[in-house]
């Protein structure tokens, strides 16, 4: 028995170490503790404490305090400069919204929306033009395929009142439809590479340009294809009763937002997708309930139905992605259980979601911060606004006493780099004939942004690549092409 206990302790220690590597331990008190007036203060002894005195980033009406806004704005300005500098050496061919130029166009479009500064819209146009010259026909989704540049292009031209160009983008976007609705193709249904990701592009255009910019029949065809595909797999897997719409990607039944059911159900529940009430109640709802029953006791979700490790707390895999599906289910079906589960997701993200992996949306702090903002928008509970305010800018702006030293981040980068190198060595030849071993060698030699004087490794502020990308062999290939272009 002694041995069992020590083994369990060892596993626990190991697990803690892994968690430590994935996410910063959250140093902040939660909202209730932060907002509580110290007990020794009699309530009338002095005027009410200001948000600054309480350490809160907003006033009692939820309006963000001036200082906090100013800090964020100045950080955005700095980061934009660093990003533009870094983009000079970025992969000229990556036009995706996920990692490439369409993402930059979207960023400027969002800055235009927030500031109404026309210059941002024109910057967005520059990047849109660049992406439209580089469509490659390889993928079809908003995030990773041609539908992203085309949809963003249509919106940017529309805002500039260039209706001819905008319409041309929509026409090209709709030309992709044939591949999407073809039932015999091996196109998946998920958000990153599949049908739901194409549907996202259609709905995005209609949200930004008004209903009717993309006709309803086009949307219906895609929705029908997604539903048919889910029904077919559910029957094949004999799950028609429990999970009437079942999906897989690379033969694995993923749960999360990027590759899994959560992302697909989320799209099907969008009012603009116009899925009929019967399908929502008879098909989508029980499937969501099936997914809910797979959640871990922590409130987090597995990456796939067959995975029982409670490890990843990312938008792509885990609670930060599933929470949006649960919130949407609460809006559509008006049942408290969905909101309760969403709140549980939020708690696990607050505890384990200040990721070391990077700042990005897919598996970084920003994506996890979004979940708090969305829950705040839904519930108006300031607890979630507080969490968003704390989590989001934490990696840039936290005080030295409340945050592990930055050096720690570089150590993580080092170990990520080492893992990337090891995995490269095992990878067979790349498309340009380079072997994994060569890639690994070049990775240790080339990028000036990683090796610093004295052998210390860090990511230069001008380097736009998230550190997490260094972990995967596919990205090591890209890494080399970025460095070679430099
Ligand atoms: Zn991810």
316 C-alpha to ligand 1 centroid (Å):
4
- The pLDDT assigned to 211 comes to 93
- The pLDDT assigned to 131 comes to 96
Nearest-angstrom CA–CA distance, 24 and 20:
6
Taking the model in full, what pTM does it have? 0.78
144 is in an annotated binding site: no
Domain boundaries, the chain: 92-213, 215-354
CA angle 471, 475, 478 (to 5 degrees): 145
**Mean pLDDT of each 10-residue bin along the chain, 486 residues long:** 38 59 84 71 60 80 91 91 94 94 97 96 97 94 98 98 98 96 91 98 98 96 98 97 97 97 98 97 98 96 95 96 98 98 97 86 92 97 93 55 37 48 57 56 41 43 40 32 28
Sign of the dihedral through C-alpha 132, 133, 138, 144 = negative
- The pLDDT assigned to 184 comes to 81
66 is in an annotated binding site: no
152 C-alpha to ligand 1 centroid (Å):
22
For ligand 1, a single-atom ion, the residues with CB < 5 A are: 316, 362-363
- The pLDDT assigned to 33 comes to 82
302 C-alpha to ligand 1 centroid (Å):
14
6 C-alpha to ligand 1 centroid (Å):
34
257 C-alpha to ligand 1 centroid (Å):
9
C-beta separation of 134 from 95 below 8 A: yes
- The pLDDT assigned to 474 comes to 33
Which of the 8 DSSP states describes residue 252? B
Within 10 Å of residue 456's Cβ, how many Cβ atoms? 10
Nearest-angstrom CA–CA distance, 224 and 465:
38
Among 308, 384, 397, which residue's Cα sits nearest to residue 353? 384
Sign of the dihedral through C-alpha 200, 360, 351, 419 = positive
- The pLDDT assigned to 32 comes to 84
- The pLDDT assigned to 404 comes to 39
Nearest-angstrom CA–CA distance, 349 and 387:
10
- The pLDDT assigned to 27 comes to 84
What are the residues facing 472 on neighbouring strands? none
Q: Is 19 exposed, middle or buried (0-12, 13-18, 19+ CB in 10 A)?
A: middle
315 C-alpha to ligand 1 centroid (Å):
6
- The pLDDT assigned to 471 comes to 33
Nearest-angstrom CA–CA distance, 180 and 277:
24
- The pLDDT assigned to 447 comes to 36
CA distances from 434 to 89, 244, 439, 447 (A): 21, 45, 7, 17
Query: What are the helix and strand counts (H, E) for the chain?
Result: 22, 0
259 C-alpha to ligand 1 centroid (Å):
10
Could you please report the per-residue DSSP string of 75-96? HHHHHHHHHHHHHTTS-TT---
């Amino acid at each position: 028995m002694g041995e069992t206990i020590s083994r369990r302790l060892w596993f626990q220690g190991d697990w803690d170490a892994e968690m430590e590597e994935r996410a910063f331990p959250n140093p902040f008190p939660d909202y209730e503790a932060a907002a509580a007036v110290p007990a020794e203060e009699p309530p009338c002894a002095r005027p009410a404490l200001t948000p600054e005195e309480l350490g809160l980033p907003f006033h009692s009406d939820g309006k963000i305090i001036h200082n906090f806004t100013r800090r964020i704005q100045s950080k955005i300005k700095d980061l934009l400069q660093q990003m533009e500098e870094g983009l000079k050496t970025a992969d000229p061919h990556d036009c995706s919204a996920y990692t490439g130029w369409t993402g930059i166009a979207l960023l400027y479009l969002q800055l235009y929306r927030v500031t109404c500064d026309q210059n941002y819209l024109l910057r967005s146009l520059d990047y849109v033009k660049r992406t439209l010259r580089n469509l490659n026909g390889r993928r079809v989704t908003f995030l990773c395929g041609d539908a992203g540049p085309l949809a963003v292009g249509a919106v940017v031209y529309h805002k500039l009142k260039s209706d001819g160009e905008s319409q041309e983008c929509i026409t090209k976007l709709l030309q992709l439809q044939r591949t999407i609705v073809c039932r015999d193709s091996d196109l998946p249904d998920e958000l990153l590479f599949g049908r739901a990701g194409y549907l996202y592009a259609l709905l995005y255009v209609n949200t930004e340009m008004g209903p009717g910019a993309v006709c309803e029949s086009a949307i219906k065809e895609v929705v029908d294809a997604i539903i048919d595909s889910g029904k077919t797999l559910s029957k094949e897997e004999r799950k028609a009763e429990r999970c009437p719409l079942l999906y897989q990607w690379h033969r694995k039944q993923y749960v999360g937002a990027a590759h899994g059911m959560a992302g697909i159900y989320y799209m099907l529940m969008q009012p603009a997708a116009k899925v009929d009430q019967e399908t929502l109640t008879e098909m989508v709802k029980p499937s969501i309930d099936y997914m809910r029953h797979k959640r871990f006791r922590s409130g987090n979700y597995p990456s796939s139905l067959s995975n029982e490790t409670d490890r990843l707390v990312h938008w792509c895999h885990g609670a930060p992605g599933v929470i949006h599906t649960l919130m949407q289910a609460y809006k559509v079906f008006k049942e408290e259980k969905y909101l309760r589960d969403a709140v549980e997701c939020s708690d696990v993200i607050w505890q384990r979601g200040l990721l070391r992996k990077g700042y990005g949306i897919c598996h970084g702090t920003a994506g996890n911060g979004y979940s708090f903002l969305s829950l705040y928008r839904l519930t108006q509970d300031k607890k979630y606004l507080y969490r968003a305010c704390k989590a989001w800018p934490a990696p840039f702006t936290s005080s030295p006493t409340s945050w592990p030293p930055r050096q720690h981040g570089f150590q993580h980068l080092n170990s990520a780099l080492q893992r990337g190198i090891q995995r490269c060595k095992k990878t067979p030849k790349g498309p340009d004939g380079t072997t994994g071993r060569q890639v690994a060698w070049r990775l240790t030699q080339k990028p000036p942004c990683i090796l610093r004087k004295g052998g210390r490794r860090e990511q230069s502020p001008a380097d736009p690549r998230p550190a997490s990308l260094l972990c995967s062999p596919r990205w090591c290939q890209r890494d080399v092409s970025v460095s070679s272009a430099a």
